């Protein structure tokens, strides 16, 4: 019998484009159905850096696209730029 596998997804917003920079925001999705995460359900990030997530077995599946600011927009606020998407593939019963 083949093991059934599901994907878990972790989205980390880092302080800058370096994978070892600090986590500023995060969200998780669990394709196993065992956990149901919601926005703001934790005051502490699951990892201090993106590198810490790698060391815990998460795989990076998307790096942020580095786009320079338009002239005159260097200090305006917008979306969080440094979004890394990680995944784990886990077996379920």
Region for residue 7 given its phi and psi (left: phi exceeds 0; alpha: psi -120 to 50; beta: otherwise): beta
Question: What is d(CA 63, CA 93) in angstroms, rounded to the nearest whole number?
Answer: 31
pLDDT tens per residue, range 51-60: 999 999 999 9
| pLDDT band at residue 40 under the 50/70/90 scheme | low
* pTM of the entire predicted model: 0.79
Which contiguous run of DSSP H or E holds residue 55? helix 50-55
Question: What is d(CA 9, CA 27) in angstroms, rounded to the nearest whole number?
Answer: 8
What is the domain partition of the chain in residue ranges? 4-92
């Amino acid at each position: 019998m083949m093991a059934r596998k599901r994907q878990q997804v972790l989205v980390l917003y880092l302080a800058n484009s370096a994978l070892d920079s600090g986590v500023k925001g995060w969200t998780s999705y669990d394709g196993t159905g065992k956990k149901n995460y919601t926005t703001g359900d934790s005051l502490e990030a699951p990892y201090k850096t993106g590198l810490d997530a790698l060391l815990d077995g998460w795989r990076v599946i998307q790096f942020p696209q580095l786009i320079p600011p338009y002239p005159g927009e260097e200090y305006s606020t917008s979306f969080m730029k440094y979004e890394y998407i990680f995944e784990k593939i886990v077996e379920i019963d």
